[in-house]
Structure 1
Amino acid sequence: MAKSTGPRVVAELGRPETPDETFARKAENSRKHRANQTLFNLVIATVASLGIVLFLVLVVVRPTSEEPVTADYQTIAADAQTNASEPLLAPTLPAVWYANSARLGTTSSVQTWYVGFVTPASPSSQFVALEQGIDSNETWLSIVTDGALATDTTTIGGIDWTIYDRRSSSDTGNYAYSMSAQIAGSTVVLHGTATNEEFELLAAAIAAESESE
């Protein structure tokens, strides 16, 4: 039996559909197809984006246990010594201490050797800086003690130190506690947030190094 090629019969109407109805039906079918295709593409794009985000979270921005930045201050001091007229202080300290910065520069036109130490104080690490001003002056001393007033004195390893204790004040940062001493042709200042015991340990190490020179 030959297949009918006449107009499509619309069941709801009980008659063949008109050319306009045929055009409208095909147009609607095309619209639905495009809508389905767009939704499919949107789903694919969303899945791909989520995959990229997951990759970044797992691989790129995942937490890492990076080693702290350290500076070999004793080697840096030895290399910089040829540019300094006084022996640069690089005391030997316990292995639990480390330096995160060391440099020879100038402060208020005074040649200054700087070392920043991170200490093992509990419950968290603290900081103490060593600043050595060669042929310094009162202006330099005021700058590197942040204008603090002397509060006490002490002697460690035969070296007399002036103490500037501002721990009871707020917003003193790395100048909460300072110590200064005259060693040969240099003025040495220690300042930071470390404990008294750690300041004294550093001062004793400086005294030991100064005796050996």
Structure 2
Amino acid sequence: MTSSNNTPDFQPSAQPADAPASSDAQGGEQVRPQITEKQARRINAPARNMIISMVVMLLLIIPVLWLMPQPNKNPYRPTVDVPVVAYEASREAGYHVAAAEQEGWHYNYARWNTGAADGINYWSSGQVTPSNHFIELVQAQDANPTWVAQQVGNAVPEAQVQMAGTEWEVRSQVDPDDKNKITTNYIGELEGTTVIMMGEADAPEFESLAEATVAYLKAPSSTSSPTPSSGIE
């Protein structure tokens, strides 16, 4: 009688899914992606193109900058022969016009004005100060309040100041297009004439011009007689 084998068949247990990799796999080298030379050129192309574009732009800009006119360190200054112009104006006016000259100041213009509708002829000049501000001076013998108001843009009196031993009336006007642009006017009576100084300069520069003008009108130089080289007889 043959006996049956009741011993159950042995089945090896399955390795867990999260079991660690074999030592051979762990000890192997890490695989790194490799790119071809063509792929490398494609990757570097944007940077290379940017550098080329910058070089081309510089090559285009440098000649333009080279050909641009450089700022003039010695800006043009109109040549005004003040003694001659002042002498001729004084002869026409019948009084000495204010033509004081100061070191560091230069005249932008000087002229005798006639033919106005109100019949008032007047002397006018403009000077650039050492700080590069501009002051205009006008002078008339038969000035009236209307003429003065027109010269100062109808600005109203604000104060009285003393400069060079003379009392000056101060009026100011604000530019309607630029509230920060304020023109100051000083009105004084000198040697039987009305003198108005106007501009955006600082008070010390107005005072300097006032002192020079007062001193000049007390002892005129260039308007008392022409120089031999002036050509005026």
Q: Sort the TM-score into its range (normalised by shorter chain).
A: 0.5 to 0.7
**Local SS of the residue matching 2:88:** helix
Query: Structure 1 residues 110, 171: CA separation in 2 closer, same or farther (over 3 Å shift)?
Result: farther
Is residue 100–residue 116 contact of structure 1 (8 Å, CA) maintained in 2? yes
Matches within 5 A, 1:1-213: 58=67, 62-63=69-70, 65=72, 66-94=75-103, 96-106=104-114, 107=116, 108-121=118-131, 125-166=132-173, 171=178, 176-213=183-220
TM-score (norm 2): 0.58
Tell which has more relative contact order, 1 or 2 (C-alpha 8 A, sep 6+): 2
Is residue 114–residue 130 contact of structure 1 (8 Å, CA) maintained in 2? yes
Letter in 2 for 1:180: I
- Computed over aligned residues only, the root mean square deviation of the Cα atoms, in angstroms, reads 2.8
Question: C-alpha distance in 2, partners of 1:205/1:172?
Answer: 31
Question: C-alpha distance in 2, partners of 1:165/1:130?
Answer: 15
**Local SS of the residue matching 1:188:** strand
Residue 139 of structure 1, CA deviation: 1.3
Q: Percent identity?
A: 26
Residue 151 of structure 1, CA deviation: 1.0
Question: C-alpha distance in 1, partners of 2:190/2:111?
Answer: 19
Equivalent pairs, count: 153
TM-score (norm 1): 0.63
Residue 131 of structure 1, CA deviation: 0.2
Is residue 150–residue 164 contact of structure 1 (8 Å, CA) maintained in 2? yes
**Local SS of the residue matching 1:142:** helix
Letter in 2 for 1:97: W
Query: Structure 1 residues 70, 194: CA separation in 2 closer, same or farther (over 3 Å shift)?
Result: farther
Residue 62 of structure 1, CA deviation: 3.2
* Residue deviations 1:149-172 (CA, integer Å, cap 9, x gap): 111111222211101134697648
Gaps of 5+ in 1: 1-53
Question: C-alpha distance in 1, partners of 2:177/2:202?
Answer: 17
Q: Is the deviation greater in 78-87 or in 161-170?
A: 161-170
Gaps of 5+ in 2: 1-62, 221-233
**Local SS of the residue matching 2:157:** coil
Residue 182 of structure 1, CA deviation: 1.2
Is residue 154–residue 160 contact of structure 1 (8 Å, CA) maintained in 2? yes
Residue 138 of structure 1, CA deviation: 1.2
Letter in 1 for 2:123: W
Letter in 2 for 1:103: R
Letter in 1 for 2:93: A
Residue 206 of structure 1, CA deviation: 1.0
Letter in 2 for 1:190: M
Counting helix residues as a fraction of each chain, which structure ranks higher?
1
Question: C-alpha distance in 2, partners of 1:90/1:174?
Answer: 27
